[in-house]
Amino acid sequence: MQNDEIPPLGGWSEAELDQAFAAVAREVEEWASGLRSAEDVEQFRLHWLGRKQGRLKAISDAWLKSAPAEAKKQIGQRFNTLKAEIERRLELAGAGSAGNGLDAEAIDVTLPGTRRRLGAEHPLIRTWNEIVAVFQRMGYSVGVGPEVETDYYNFESLNFPPGHPARDTQDTLVIAGQERKPLRDRLLMRTHTSPVQIRTMEQQPPPVRIIIPGKVHRNDAADATHYPIFHQVEGLCVDTNITFGDLKGTLDAAMKAFFGSSVKTRFFPSFFPFTEPSADVQISCPFCGGTGCRKCKHSGWIELLGCGMVDPAVFGFVSQKQPLYDPSRISGFAFGMGIDRIAMMKYGIGDIGLLYSGDLRFLEQFA
């Protein structure tokens, strides 16, 4: 209704005034109940209370002008009531919309919230955690070291002398621009977690029981079983009177804890520059129980890790910084295994690249 369409008052009796004001009050009420947004509220306010063109002012002007002096007080009182009602409505609407800056219609507290999709542990990380947990329960603590290593920690202190052919087995990725440094200081991507053995012993006197999970790098072309990045778990135990029997008992117990108590282990002679004697460890196939299946290539056994007694030459390097690593007084064993291979075996993953692909179709299978 336009302001110029103000209905004239029918008469000045209280009943007639009540009726006229009730009609306006209904109009206010109807409009106020439809207020949704901050803009709605502002329009409502301007329409009714606007100083120049407000409808309330227009009605008041029109009705008061034509009223006899006796009726003016009655009309004035009713205008005050009406104005108070409009202001109350504004306040209510403002609290729901303009007041908090949000549209009243945008908030429906009964709607379900936006669900966050829960992530799942990556199969590699899950395997990593499970292996670490097995050794933590045996009293080992967790150690870490840098992925960018020096030649000294990755090779020399582990008894790989410069030019030793065993270095060639590691397909090392070297950092560019290191040629001017002495060989021992040149940087490379660590090819195994074994350098953390040395770093740990340099930091603490014996005894040591430490488990070292981590990422390693080799210059391998990617195929179904190789990737330039992979992961190892390294173990090191050093104390007085540590024997090869301790090594066998520890690894046997760990393999049973990880794969199941019916799994058996067997040890074969091997070679690593930093252990002497060295061994490769096989476990009886946890999938077929040793009778032969695809996973164990029908041999009943799976080769899983390398290990050995810490070579006295390694203690020799460490004792330059920690003299308590005296090979005539202490001994120790170390072992290392590939996490990726174990995860692939456990979950039946045929291509190592899947672990690094970020492909959700692959990863969702582990959720």
The nearer residue to ligand PHE, 194 or 282, going by C-beta atoms, is 194
Among positions 219-258, residues that touch ligand PHE (CB under 6 A) are: 234
Q: How far apart are CA 232 and CA 190, in angstroms?
A: 11
315 scored as a contact of ligand PHE (CB under 6 A): no
Residue 21: its H or E element: helix 14-33
Taking residues 327 to 356 in sequence order and writing x for each that binds ligand PHE by CB under 6 A, - otherwise, the string is -------xxx--------------------
Q: How does strand 265-272 pair with strand 229-239?
A: unpaired
Q: Which stretch binds ligand PHE (CB under 6 A): 204-212, 247-255, 257-265, 302-310?
A: 302-310
Which of 123, 195, 308, 332 is in the footprint of ligand PHE by CB under 6 A? Answer: 308
**CA dist., res. 297 & res. 156, Å (int):** 37
301-310, strands of its sheet edge to edge: 141-142, 208-217, 229-239, 331-338, 301-310, 275-284, 265-272
CA 215 to chain centre: 18
Considering the complex, state which of residue 63 and residue 335 has its C-beta at the smaller distance from ligand PHE: 335
Phi-psi region of 56 (alpha: psi -120 to 50; beta: other; left: phi over 0): alpha
C-beta of 143 vs 308, nearer to ligand PHE: 308
Part of the chain binding ligand PHE (CB under 6 A), chosen from 12-20, 33-41, 142-150, 305-313: 305-313
DSSP SS3 for 177: coil
Count of residues of this chain found to bind ligand PHE when the rule CB under 6 A is applied: 11
Nearer to ligand PHE, 258 or 272 (CB): 272
Q: Find the largest Cα–Cα distance for the chain.
A: 122
Burial class (CB in 10 A: 0-12, 13-18, 19+), 75: buried
Q: Given the complex with ligand PHE, which of 77 and 141 has the nearer CB atom?
A: 141
How would you label 122-138 residue by residue, b for 16+ Cβ within 10 Å and e otherwise? ebbbbbbebbbebbeee
Told to check if 282 binds ligand PHE by CB under 6 A, we report no
The yes or no reply on residue 307 touching ligand PHE (CB under 6 A) is: yes
User: Could you say whether residue 190 binds ligand PHE (CB under 6 A)?
Assistant: no
* Cα 188 to Cα 176: distance, rounded to the nearest angstrom: 9
Q: How far is the CB of 112 from ligand PHE (least distance, A)?
A: 51
Establish if 272 lies at the interface with ligand PHE (CB under 6 A).
yes
CB-wise, 153 or 335, nearer to ligand PHE? 335
CB of 150 to ligand PHE, least distance (A): 16
- Is the CB of residue 254 less than 8 Å from the CB of residue 232? no
Q: Does 192 bind ligand PHE (CB under 6 A)?
A: yes
Interface residues with ligand PHE (CB under 6 A)? Answer: 192, 194, 234, 272, 275, 306-308, 334-336
